[in-house]
Structure 1
Amino acid sequence: MAQSSANRKRESVIDENLKRVYEEALDEGVPDRFKELLNALKQQEQSKGSQK
């Protein structure tokens, strides 16, 4: 079954919108609060390693 022109156009628009949203999400970066949590976890791991 061949897709109709309207279906191909609709899929193309969906693809472009998904790509745009994905690119915007990548550009947002990591929130400061999340970075702080990662640093706290890293410090916990380092202190556990030095206690052994």
Structure 2
Amino acid sequence: MTADNNNSRLQQEIEANLKRAYDDVLNQDVPDRFTQLLAQLQQAGAGTMSDKDRQNDA
């Protein structure tokens, strides 16, 4: 094999491993703690929004 073939094969293996790792992370559930924090932020934000801000969000 030539150096170009080795590099190409190595690049393909790296790409496949990165895709596999990305897919694994993508399919994980959002941790409960993150969901709770997001809900708290939404509640805090809803309490501070003015009527004008609410209209702009809609």
TM-score computed with the length of structure 1 as normaliser? 0.83
Equivalent residue, structure 2, for 1:8: 8
Consecutive unaligned residues in structure 2, runs of 5 or more:
51-58
Distance 2:17 2:28 in 1: 17
Distance 1:38 1:12 in 2: 38
Does residue 1:27 correspond to 2:13, yes or no?
Answer: no
TM-score computed with the length of structure 2 as normaliser? 0.75
Deviation per residue, 1:6-42 (Å, 9 max, x gap): 1100000000000000000000121100000000000
| Equivalent AA in structure 2 for residue 10 of structure 1 | L
Q: Which 4+ stretches in 1 moved above 4 angstroms?
A: none
Does residue 1:18 correspond to 2:1, yes or no?
Answer: no
Percent of aligned pairs sharing the same letter: 38
Consecutive unaligned residues in structure 1, runs of 5 or more:
none
Equivalent residue, structure 2, for 1:48: 48
Distance 1:29 1:13 in 2: 27
Distance 1:42 1:24 in 2: 28
